[in-house]
Amino acid sequence: MTRREQYLSTGSFGVLGLVALAIVFHKIFWSPYTQYQKTIADLTDEINQKDFDLKKLAVDKKKILDARRLVSLPPKLDVASTEYGRFLKTALRDSGLSVDDFQGPANTETPKPAPAGAPKKAGHIVLAFQVRAHSDWPQLVRFLDLFQKAPYLHRIKNMNLERPESTSAKDASGKISLLINIETLVVNGSGPRPDNLLGVDGRLLGADVVSALTGGVTGWSLLLRGPALLLPEGVGRRYADLDKRNPFVGGLPPPPPPPKVAKKETTPSGPDLRLFYRLMSITHSSQKAVLRNLLGDLYSRQGNITLSSVPGSGYTKFRISGGDGRTLVQAEVLHIDHRDVYFKADGKIYGIHLDQNLADAMRRPLTQADLEKLGLEELWSDAAEGADGAGKQNKLGKRPGR
């Protein structure tokens, strides 16, 4: 082995050794290191997110507590019982329910504070009310709707509905007797109930007025009661939908479909565009003619119209429309003579003379006698049979001169 070959083999082994060393370094150290770093970053992000959620939960909890205190009854139980009883009686009267018996809470004395060392309780107080009444189904639904929208922490604990004993099975009036047990809550630590749901303190409102009169800063009454504005959203229910299905009578029939209103044909506005389409030229040898639009693009986007009686020419049918896109004339060319063009529109045959406008030509359709007189009786038979008369038009001879 020469010296050069020794150098090459040594270098090759050295390169292979470095590659093997790099692979071992990557597998033993670098790959686990990067994986650990990624795991640490993910755990850090998770901890930060949990910390953010805890702070948000604390803020939301405070908002909910403020909202509950805002809709809570006054802390004095006798005042709270009187206020809520007044609301219930008003809601029952406005709903149309006939009240047979109304009972409030039996004990309205404010409970004494718990002794030291006793286990802590929430301290909220529940006031129970019971109502016996009779009504029909729509009146009960109206009461439930008012009850849901009222700004109180209350619930219907249970409700018993039954048909009166004097009601026959065939009676479809829907009269029912009901017994409702209602509970409302006095939140522990709540202050006097504000006069409005915005929670504006009357004293702060008075201070705002004085500050405005003296040119000072205003708005403190709303700013200091900001958390009260953030009331939680209610349940997305509509008690009014219950009125559509009475469990004692059955579902209401669906409303009748709306009556069909016939579309009134509107009188076209503007000039009759057929007056401005005039037959300007006829080339009898090639069976072609030109209807010229004298108005140009003023009322219609159509220009001059080429007419032909040759099948497959693409000009055997023509259409004239107004500026609003409404079709005025839909016609088919039947025959082209030296000075006249015959066409079919709306199942009738018309003839337009050279230099005549389309409106004048369509004032009177041609009869069978007119076509026989002109030697074009074959057009009548083609039109009557509903066949395409274009295939026979070239067989027709020249009509006699007028």
Kindly state whether residues 302 and 345 are assigned to the same domain: yes
pLDDT computed for residue 196 by the predictor: 52
Residue 303 in this model has a pLDDT that exceeds 50: yes
pLDDT computed for residue 376 by the predictor: 78
Kindly state whether residues 314 and 340 are assigned to the same domain: yes
Kindly state whether residues 287 and 391 are assigned to the same domain: yes
- Distance, CA of 123 to CA of 190 (rounded, Å): 11
Give the position of tokens 């429309």: 321
DSSP 75: S
- Distance, CA of 291 to CA of 281 (rounded, Å): 8
Range of the domain at 58: 29-71
Are 305 and 288 spatial neighbours (Cβ–Cβ below 8 Å)?
no
User: What value does the mean pLDDT take over residues 145-156?
Assistant: 86
Tell me if 45 is assigned to some domain. yes
User: What value does the mean pLDDT take over residues 336-343?
Assistant: 89
pLDDT computed for residue 389 by the predictor: 41
Kindly state whether residues 96 and 37 are assigned to the same domain: no
Kindly state whether residues 57 and 93 are assigned to the same domain: no
Are 129 and 166 spatial neighbours (Cβ–Cβ below 8 Å)?
no
User: What value does the mean pLDDT take over residues 398-402?
Assistant: 37
pLDDT computed for residue 7 by the predictor: 76
C-beta neighbour count of 383 within 10 angstroms: 20
Q: What is the pLDDT of residues 64-81, one digit of tens each?
A: 766 666 677 888 888 888
Tell me if 252 is assigned to some domain. no
Q: What is the pLDDT of residues 215-242, one digit of tens each?
A: 776 665 555 454 444 444 555 667 777 7
Kindly state whether residues 129 and 50 are assigned to the same domain: no
Per the prediction, the chain carries an average pLDDT of 77
Kindly state whether residues 91 and 41 are assigned to the same domain: no
Kindly state whether residues 67 and 79 are assigned to the same domain: no
Helix 137-149 vs helix 77-95: angle between axes, to the nearest 10 degrees? Answer: 140
By mean pLDDT, which of 121-135, 156-170, 184-198, 328-342 is the weakest? 184-198
Tell me if 129 is assigned to some domain. yes
CATH code at position 175: 3.30.70.60
Q: How confident is the model at residue 88 (pLDDT cuts 50, 70, 90)?
A: very high
Tell me if 213 is assigned to some domain. no
Residue 348, judged by CB atoms within 10 A of its CB (0-12, 13-18, 19+), counts as middle
Residue 289 in this model has a pLDDT that exceeds 50: yes
By mean pLDDT, which of 71-75, 200-204, 314-318, 331-335 is the weakest? 200-204
Are 323 and 300 spatial neighbours (Cβ–Cβ below 8 Å)?
yes
**3-state SS assignment for residue 354:** coil
pLDDT computed for residue 254 by the predictor: 74
Q: What is the pLDDT of residues 15-71, one digit of tens each?
A: 888 888 888 888 888 888 889 999 999 999 999 999 999 998 888 877 776 666 667
pLDDT computed for residue 266 by the predictor: 59
243 versus 178: which is more confidently predicted? Answer: 178
Are 134 and 177 spatial neighbours (Cβ–Cβ below 8 Å)?
yes
Kindly state whether residues 284 and 383 are assigned to the same domain: yes
Q: How confident is the model at residue 12 (pLDDT cuts 50, 70, 90)?
A: confident
Tell me if 208 is assigned to some domain. no
- Distance, CA of 131 to CA of 156 (rounded, Å): 11
pLDDT computed for residue 395 by the predictor: 38
- Distance, CA of 90 to CA of 86 (rounded, Å): 6
Residue 334 in this model has a pLDDT that exceeds 90: no
Q: How confident is the model at residue 199 (pLDDT cuts 50, 70, 90)?
A: low
Tell me if 217 is assigned to some domain. no
Question: Would you state the structure tokens that stand for residue 25, as one six-digit string?
Answer: 């370094």
Per-residue CA distances from 367 to 152, 158, 356 (Å): 86, 86, 19
Question: Would you state the structure tokens that stand for residue 124, as one six-digit string?
Answer: 């909220």
pLDDT computed for residue 106 by the predictor: 80
- pTM value is 0.42
Ranges assigned E (strand) in 163-311: 176-186, 245-246, 250-251, 277-283, 288-293, 305-308
User: What value does the mean pLDDT take over residues 76-91?
Assistant: 89
Counting residues of the chain whose pLDDT is more than 90, the rounded percentage is 16
Tell me if 57 is assigned to some domain. yes
Instruction: Tell me how many domains the chain contains.
Output: 3
- For 265-303, letters b (16+ CB in 10 Å) and e give eeeeeeeebbebbbbeebeeeebbbbbebeeeeeebebe
Q: How confident is the model at residue 386 (pLDDT cuts 50, 70, 90)?
A: low
- Distance, CA of 287 to CA of 338 (rounded, Å): 9
pLDDT computed for residue 301 by the predictor: 57
